[in-house]
Amino acid sequence: MIKILENIDTWKCEYKKCGAKCCYEGIHLTIEDIKRIKNLGYSPDDFLELDETVNVFKIKGKEGKCFFNGEKLECTIRGNEPLVCRLLPFNIVEVSYSDEPMMKLKPVVDCPGVGLGKKIDKKSIEADATKFLHQNQKLIRDIKKKGKKGVLADI
């Protein structure tokens, strides 16, 4: 179940105005995200780290920003960005994997692009969030079973 806690009708990414504050280190990755990025020619050792406290893969940082944040603050893998990035202008504020996986999303605070650009497709946001939930749940199970090396060997 996906819950959007506050509504936004339109949005445009204005990363230059906010300094790309959504492009931070530690963005969660699914296996599909890792495969997509790896297919671009990146080695997982370059961009990937395992957070063993919660058994999830995250993007390494570069000067406090996402590894894929370019010199002009642009996303260097646009079109292949992680599912979490596709949820923008919403951030994940809570995830639980009880009987039914659940995610709560909240708009990015003080985003200069809110109210600009095209209409937000909430069905697409919900579909990507649901996909993330299911892929992440499987990833957590696989890391517990196989460990980091075992999971990466399957990619």
Percent of the chain at pLDDT > 90 equals: 85
10 Å CB burial of residue 74 (0-12, 13-18, 19+) is middle
Ordered alpha helix ranges (H), 24-121: 31-38, 44-47, 83-86
Q: Give the number of residues written for the chain.
A: 155
Q: According to the model, what pLDDT value does residue 51 have?
A: 92
Flag whether pLDDT at 1 surpasses 90: yes
At 130-145, the pLDDT tens digits run 999 999 999 999 999 9
Q: According to the model, what pLDDT value does residue 9 have?
A: 95
At 100-112, the pLDDT tens digits run 899 999 999 889 9
**Which of these, 124, 115, 126, 86, lies nearest to 9 by C-alpha position?**
115
Q: According to the model, what pLDDT value does residue 38 have?
A: 96
Flag whether pLDDT at 87 surpasses 90: yes
Q: According to the model, what pLDDT value does residue 31 have?
A: 93
Q: According to the model, what pLDDT value does residue 81 have?
A: 95
- For the chain, what is the mean pLDDT? 94
Residue-range domain boundaries for the chain: 2-148
Average pLDDT for 77-105: 94
Flag whether pLDDT at 99 surpasses 90: no
HEC states along 44-55?
A: HHHHEEEECCCC
109 three-class SS = coil
Flag whether pLDDT at 39 surpasses 90: yes
At 48-60, the pLDDT tens digits run 999 989 889 999 9
The pTM (predicted TM-score) of the whole model is: 0.90
